[in-house]
Structure 1
Amino acid sequence: MKITEWMEKIFNSLNEGVLIVDREGNILFFNKAYSNFIGKNLNDVEGLPIRDIRPGSLIQDVMETGVAKLGVLRKENNDEYFCNISPIISDGKTIGGISTVTFLKDAVYLSKKIKELEKKNKYLMEKIHRTNGTKYTFKNIIAVNDTSILTKNIAQKIAHSDVSVLIEGESGSGKEVYAQSIHNESERSKYPFVAINCSTLTPTMLEGELFGYEDGAFTGAKKGGKIGLFESANQGTIFLDEISEMDYSLQAKLLRVLQEGTIRKIGGTKEIDIDVRVICACNVNLMKYIEEGKFRKDLYYRIAVFPIHIVPLRERREDVPYLLDFYLQKLSNKLRRKISLTDKAKASLYNYDWPGNVREMRNVLEFSSIMATDGFIREENLPAPITENSKESEPKFYKLSDKIKKFEREEINKAIEYFGDTVDGKKEAAKHLGISLSTLYYKLS
């Protein structure tokens, strides 16, 4: 086995020490880094047994067993280093061995550089998200419950396609978080994410916001006209929240935009090409709206190419502890002091149904952290609906004597009803109940 000049140049360019021996354990080659490590020149020791030069070397053992030793931590002359030792095998036979040495100080340096690069990458990603109008990615979605995990996995998969998505879920369940995450996972992530709530504007105002308008299109129109959100979101994503509340006549115009890929400003005559992914959200049953004539069926099938349903928090209670930890950490960072929950406060929050879902949870923690002066959120710091719910869920206990009396009376009355409400009937009832007649009268009194 020979080391070519080309291989020698490659090995000498490495920071790690490299040692190669033949099958008898004689030194064939080591690079400059290994030479510096052992303080010897290759020309002086080439062909000598490695154990004469390095008595503690493990390379001979590895060749004999044929089993590599990886990540072995060793210490020598105050230097700590990692060894990776492997047999060199050809045609099923061991023909030599190779050992690499990575010095711990180099590993620490590399680890430090990796952390610096990760930090820089995180900063750049956050900068991109701020630039494109988002702040959420899939890392912000906590999923422990099986249904939550499935929903998140599906959303991540469809993010890489370009289909229209309809996100269904109760208010506060995190629909926009999912919408932003899908955008940031997609190829459109470098371009704008534009959101609008369809329930907050009149039909005319919403149309102007979505499609824009020309100068003088209507009374009060902005001089010079306005670019609509569809144009602003070109090559990116537009998020239409509460799509269910869009006026029926405007739904027809939206359908045309989705079908043709063009928009026309209010007061304009020119068709403008757009390339936009559409993500919609609603907190109602759109199929019911279709049956009631409130929503267009053809628009529904256009926007719901891929529907995603976010289950309410009360149906994924496994997520609650992890969500609480996540938002407490964010709150602690924001307030620059640690915020924790007492055991009683945790129990109350775990048992609460969260009708307002994740949004309510964030608000509750923010409110409670203000009420907690020492950094510990106690049960009494929580809003009234949560503490009242906690009291209602506590088991009610009754005195055993009262329960026994009630049970005995019920059994006596059943027996009297069967044997008859006469003296003889009561005697028979007492006999079957194993008590005297006087005791029966006493327990009925």
Structure 2
Amino acid sequence: MMKSIGVVTYVRNSPVAIFLKDNLETVLANYVDVKIYSLDELKPGKMIDDDIVLVMIKSQALQVKKHISDARRIVVAQRTTRESEIYKVFSIPADTRVLVVNDNSETTLEAITLFYQLGINHLNLVPYKEGEDYSDIKIAITPGESWRVPKYIGTVLDIGQRYIDISTFIEIINKLEITEDEVRRRFLKYSESIVSLDTGIRRQYKELVTKNTELRAVINLSPEGILLLNNEKMVSLYNKSLEKMFDIHKDITCVNLNDLFTSDIINVLNQDVIRDEIVEYKGRTLIVNKHNLEYFGELAGIYFIFQEVTYIKQLEQTLTKKLRAKGLLTRYNFTDIHTKSPEMIQCIDFARKAACSDLTILITGESGTGKELLAQSIHNASHRTKQPFMAFNCAAVPESIMESELFGYEGGTFTGALKEGKAGLFEQANNGTIFLDEIGDMPYSMQAKLLRVLQEQQVMRIGSQRVTTINIRVIAATNNDLRKKIRSGHFRADLYYRLNVLPIMVPPLRERKEDILYLLNYFLRQKHREDLSVLPETCDILMQYGWTGNIRELNNVAAYISFMTDNIVRPDHLPCYIFDIQEDFERDFNVLAIRGDLENCQAVLKVIADFDSLDMGAGRKSIEDFLNNTGVHLSQGEIRRVLNVLNGCELITSGIGRKGSEITLKGKYFLKWLKNRNNQPV
């Protein structure tokens, strides 16, 4: 016949009663029948025939005694809590006032007794009484009665309904003479989940000692000095690195901070906020940071971290070496951009401002103008300067492997893939900058995938279902007209507008004539050829040249010059292609035809060219006399008007006084072009 247990509570089918029934059945289900009774149902003469009568408190035992035939069947339950719940309470700072709330004053006091019994004696536990004001208390503990806690209490630790203690279960099992192995197995599993009132936290203390030993071993491996103080500024924890930094040769646990360091260091450590403060100690330069430790909003200690500047420098050198080995470091800063051009100075000033933001930048400019140099300078001037800089040339990588290079892949995704997989450039550039050069040449199929990365800041490797969130700054560059490519259907308009947040246009060298000779001299100095003297006619040729290769081409010309001559740079010391000007002068031809008499302009330009062959400038009177001798009659006023037109087209330069007008290199080539044009068959 199955034995039974009667559980007596104040209210039938209350949450407490149902909880206790489930609690008993955790161990005794199928072996014991559990019934629930309430005190208000036990009328005079009502008898309880169960083998065990379980009550919660001793006062209930006195009330139940008259309803059973043998008082020895009464068991007053000892109740405890789950291990996982009670250890929250141990985290509350010592001497904190904590309100304890239960369903009545008797059970509240019982709960407080339980806490003390479990070793929670570091808190000032205050029993809750209905109607009283506890607004000065910030934390409350309750065993499943959180709804009773006053609303003004900020933090409520609900440790849940109290469980029947192991000692009570042993008493019940012995009285009912239950010997089944299944009950024993359940009982052992149950005992692992609660804190026994008999053993308290002895086992937990043993584990805590073990964990503290492990923790101390870990913090002693740290190269940073660690110092932990309690609220009284007494040392709670420190490591070997701190001992080494401050030449400490004794145990300083429980030593007051003021007795540990010199007064100048104490003055720094007593500051409310410490962020990267520098202190000196016996020739060592240390950087210190301070953090407050809080539990449940209460100050529980102070944590200091000390770092040696020498160690930080070693870390930076190691990081720099590793990044350089991976090609993730930049070499250029804004100070490496040399210019005298107002347009270029304005461009650099805007780039400096753009560096302070994380907005996407689109750099446009011809090949060789220094777009990557500008991109690297922006990265180095930004807050990402210590993070990776990844450069990717969209025109140099085949479309078939571009996706795997940018986004990476999982191991075994395709033939030849690394078995461990590979991170793409976006992942490698995380927290840093990715520079997408020649973005205008990116295949159309890849542009949509790039757009999604820019919009979502997330990437997914090929063959993976996992999305990786990234934090990158994108700088793109192109020498193409992206608007024209949009119209032709070769570039996505939505990608263009996503990239073109902060546009920067780098002017070509031919529009920065102030920089031509300035940069030539700079490159010659770099090649240790500052001794070279460049003739004026050589300078004139360089100034008139188109420089389609821009700065890169000028650097090559400087290298050629330094190789070709030992003293004076003459025109024949320049690369021959500089003289092979294939320029179309139709525009200038039309200007001369519209703004002046074309035949008169040609006649005047030829006279000035003849004077140039004699190394002479041509004044208006000289031009007038020369033309009269050839049968062309122009007044000085008409000559002045022609000179203005020729000067506006940069075919001549007009000086003041006796210097007169001189033909430019462009003017000479215009005459050659004009001669070839006139000789072409109609």
TM-score using structure 1 length: 0.58
Query: Which among 543, 562, 571 is matched to residue 379 of structure 1?
Result: 571
1:207 maps to what in 2?
403
Q: 1:205 offset after TM fit, Å?
A: 1.1
1:407 maps to what in 2?
631
Residues 224 and 375 of structure 1: is their aligned pair in 2 closer, same or farther, counting only changes over 3 Å?
farther
Q: Deviations over 1:259-284 (max 9, x none)?
A: 11111111111111111100000111
C-alpha distance in 2 between matches for 1:226 and 1:205: 13
1:352 maps to what in 2?
545
2:80 maps to what in 1?
none
In structure 2, give the amino acid aligned to 1:289. Answer: K
Residue 285, structure 1, aligned to residue 285, structure 2: no
Contact 1:164–1:303 under 8 Å retained in 2: yes
SS at match of 2:527: helix
Q: Deviations over 1:180-235 (max 9, x none)?
A: 01001000011111101101122221111111111222223234222111111111
1:20 maps to what in 2?
none
Within 5 Å, which residues of 2 pair with 1:285-324? 285-324=481-520
Q: 1:408 offset after TM fit, Å?
A: 5.0
| Aligned length, in residue pairs | 282
C-alpha distance in 2 between matches for 1:196 and 1:341: 40
Residues 302 and 409 of structure 1: is their aligned pair in 2 closer, same or farther, counting only changes over 3 Å?
closer
C-alpha distance in 1 between matches for 2:519 and 2:633: 51
C-alpha distance in 2 between matches for 1:327 and 1:402: 44
C-alpha distance in 1 between matches for 2:457 and 2:516: 42
C-alpha distance in 2 between matches for 1:156 and 1:147: 15
Residues 339 and 241 of structure 1: is their aligned pair in 2 closer, same or farther, counting only changes over 3 Å?
farther
Unmatched 5+ residue regions in structure 2? 1-312, 586-604, 614-622, 635-682
Residue 229, structure 1, aligned to residue 421, structure 2: no
Contact 1:195–1:241 under 8 Å retained in 2: yes
C-alpha distance in 2 between matches for 1:342 and 1:290: 45
Query: Which among 541, 559, 579 is matched to residue 366 of structure 1?
Result: 559
Greater displacement, 170-179 / 129-138:
129-138
Contact 1:143–1:152 under 8 Å retained in 2: no
Q: 1:375 offset after TM fit, Å?
A: 5.6
Aligned residues: percent identity? 45
1:270 maps to what in 2?
466
Residues 339 and 360 of structure 1: is their aligned pair in 2 closer, same or farther, counting only changes over 3 Å?
farther
2:373 maps to what in 1?
177
Query: Which among 529, 532, 548 is matched to residue 340 of structure 1?
Result: 532
Greater displacement, 237-246 / 138-147:
138-147
In structure 2, give the amino acid aligned to 1:221. Answer: A
Q: 1:379 offset after TM fit, Å?
A: 2.6
Residues 203 and 388 of structure 1: is their aligned pair in 2 closer, same or farther, counting only changes over 3 Å?
closer
C-alpha distance in 2 between matches for 1:384 and 1:261: 50
Unmatched 5+ residue regions in structure 1? 1-119, 411-445
Query: Which among 384, 399, 402 is matched to residue 188 of structure 1?
Result: 384
Q: Deviations over 1:281-324 (max 9, x none)?
A: 01111111111111111111111110000111111111222212
Contact 1:159–1:185 under 8 Å retained in 2: yes
Provide the aligned C-alpha RMSD in A.
3.1
Q: 1:239 offset after TM fit, Å?
A: 0.4
Q: Deviations over 1:115-160 (max 9, x none)?
A: xxxxx9xx98xx6995742111101112322211111100011111
In structure 1, give the amino acid aligned to 2:401. Answer: M
C-alpha distance in 2 between matches for 1:354 and 1:166: 23
Greater displacement, 200-209 / 245-254:
200-209
Residues 205 and 321 of structure 1: is their aligned pair in 2 closer, same or farther, counting only changes over 3 Å?
same
Q: 1:331 offset after TM fit, Å?
A: 1.9
Name the structure where helix makes up a greater proportion of residues. Answer: 1
Residue 396, structure 1, aligned to residue 609, structure 2: yes
C-alpha distance in 1 between matches for 2:477 and 2:544: 28
TM-score using structure 2 length: 0.38
SS at match of 1:158: helix
Residues 408 and 151 of structure 1: is their aligned pair in 2 closer, same or farther, counting only changes over 3 Å?
closer
Q: Deviations over 1:80-136 (max 9, x none)?
A: xxxxxxxxxxxxxxxxxxxxxxxxxxxxxxxxxxxxxxxx9xx98xx6995742111
Contact 2:521–2:530 under 8 Å retained in 1: no
C-alpha distance in 2 between matches for 1:386 and 1:216: 53
In structure 2, give the amino acid aligned to 1:407. Answer: G
SS at match of 1:320: helix
C-alpha distance in 1 between matches for 2:525 and 2:626: 49
Q: 1:367 offset after TM fit, Å?
A: 2.1
Larger gyration radius, structure 1 or structure 2: 2
C-alpha distance in 1 between matches for 2:487 and 2:478: 16
Contact 1:331–1:339 under 8 Å retained in 2: no
C-alpha distance in 2 between matches for 1:312 and 1:157: 22
Contact 1:151–1:310 under 8 Å retained in 2: yes
C-alpha distance in 2 between matches for 1:157 and 1:385: 40
